[in-house]
Amino acid sequence: METLRTLQVDAFADEPFAGNAAGVVPEADGLTDDQMQAIANELAVSETAFFRESDEADRRVRYFTPTTEVDLCGHATIASHAHLLEEGVISPGTHSLETNVGVLEIEVEEDGAIWMTQDSPEIREVELDYERVADALGIDHAALEDVGADLPLAVSSTGLPFLVVPVNFLEHVSAMDPDFGAIEAISEEVDATGIYAFSFDALGVDSTLHGRMFAPAAGVPEDPVTGTASGATGAYLREFEAFDDEGVPEEMVFEQGHFVDRPGYVRVRVGDEVRVGGQAATALDGELRVPEADEDDDIIEA
């Protein structure tokens, strides 16, 4: 039975028990797909990052939710590189990361902020009934129609596709009572990982918007703070000229997680490339005992 170092690192926060918790397995070369999936299920956080050797980049990563592998995960990337920085494995500067969507650049700043360059944006409007989407989110459809004339429903991707849903006021974002079956059906219909709903009516005076993200089809009913969805939404805001003649701010701050007691902040830059960034803090550092791949029982002991 192999023993692996395993961590929980909270991303988009500067202290533990905030932001979005990610599992991190720093040395995963010997693990099979089934073992990685079982570990992610055992850790029971929204995503776990498994580092492996790479011929194309400084390192290879694969991301697993408790139920499936996903191609890209912003918060687990931020969390895992914050761990590498803390351990002295990497230094401030630019590092390359091989993912399922290609090789991405990771920028580590002197203050510990980690920046992740995302994939080129792909954005498409979708034809969905506002009442159906509002019912899935558990709010009045007027909260969507009020802003729909200027900011349409659209699927935006910078590595993972999300249905971006603008909402008029924060009170409707906070009052969401999601129907996860309906959200899963809509997500599958428009070929999206999940729904990212947001309002410019944010809690913090320095925040650009407040968002919530639901991805039940990926095994994540509600994600506390979502880097990939933040990058996709930043690209969406530029595409549909959300800031009129002023243009997209050089840096935006997206707040998320406050209504699930995991407040976090994603920094978003939409220039020649889409980048998301933030801090992270280690909450748990321990060992996991992993049964051999050919053992009949699939139990993993913490």
Q: How confident is the model at residue 295 (pLDDT cuts 50, 70, 90)?
A: low
Mean pLDDT, range 185-203, rounded to an integer: 98
- Hey, what are 26's tokens? 């720093």
pLDDT over threshold 70, residue 207: yes
Record: fold of 122-272: Diaminopimelate Epimerase; Chain A, domain 1 (3.10.310)
Which entry of 47, 184, 222, 255 is annotated as an active-site residue? Answer: 47
Say what the pLDDT of residue 272 is: 94
Q: Give 2-118+280-290's CATH code, choosing from 3.10.310.10, 3.40.1390.10, 1.10.3720.10, 3.10.450.50.
A: 3.10.310.10
Angle 227-239/74-87 helices, nearest 10 degrees? 120
Nearest Cα residue to 106 out of 98, 92, 118, 94: 94
User: Model confidence over 147-160: pLDDT tens digits?
Assistant: 988 999 999 999 99
Give tens-digit pLDDT for 104-140.
999 999 999 999 999 999 999 999 999 999 999 999 9
- Let me know: does 155 contact 164? Beta carbons within 8 Å: yes
Q: For residues 158 and 231, is the Cβ–Cβ distance under 8 A?
A: yes
Domain limits of the chain? 2-118+280-290, 122-272
Mark whether 250 is an active-site residue.
no
| CA pair distance 103, 56, nearest whole angstrom | 8
- Asked if the model's pLDDT at residue 297 lies above 80, the reply is no
Q: What is the mean pLDDT of the chain?
A: 95
Q: What angle do CA 101, 25, 118 make, to 5 degrees?
A: 25
244 falls in which pLDDT band (50, 70, 90)?
confident
Domains 2-118+280-290 and 122-272 equal at CATH topology level: yes
- Supply the pTM of this predicted model: 0.90
**How many other CB atoms are found less than 10 A from the CB of residue 298?**
12
